[in-house]
Amino acid sequence: MDKIIGEIKSKNTAIDVLINNAGIVVPKRYDEQTYQNHLKTFAVNYLAPVHMTIQLKPLLKGHVVTIASIASLLRGNNLTSYAASKHAIYGFFNCMRVELAR
């Protein structure tokens, strides 16, 4: 990811639209998930889009679109870690939107 970010930054061009669309799911019950499953899910679904957006902030001149999931607001079987990570990304970008609107 850092390699790609470096390549983008080296072009020193404005970014009109950044689309964050990262997502994985490990479909297991909460008591079957390992800590590593949780780390991987949060690394891809939450931390990667946040990292990408923060690193590319100097080049952002337009919109940031982040794809979350309706699972961030609902319940589902075998989706505990996934739903939590999507809830986190939804919360982060909702707050960021409010902060940038000022």
As to burial, measured by CB atoms within 10 angstroms (0-12 exposed, 13-18 middle, 19+ buried), residue 47 is middle
Which of these is catalytic: 30, 35, 46, 82?
A: 82
C-alpha 37/C-alpha 59 separation (Å) is 33
Cross-strand partners of 43: none
CB atoms within 10 A of CB 85: 28
Residue 82 bears catalytic tag = yes
Which sequence positions are flagged as catalytic? 82
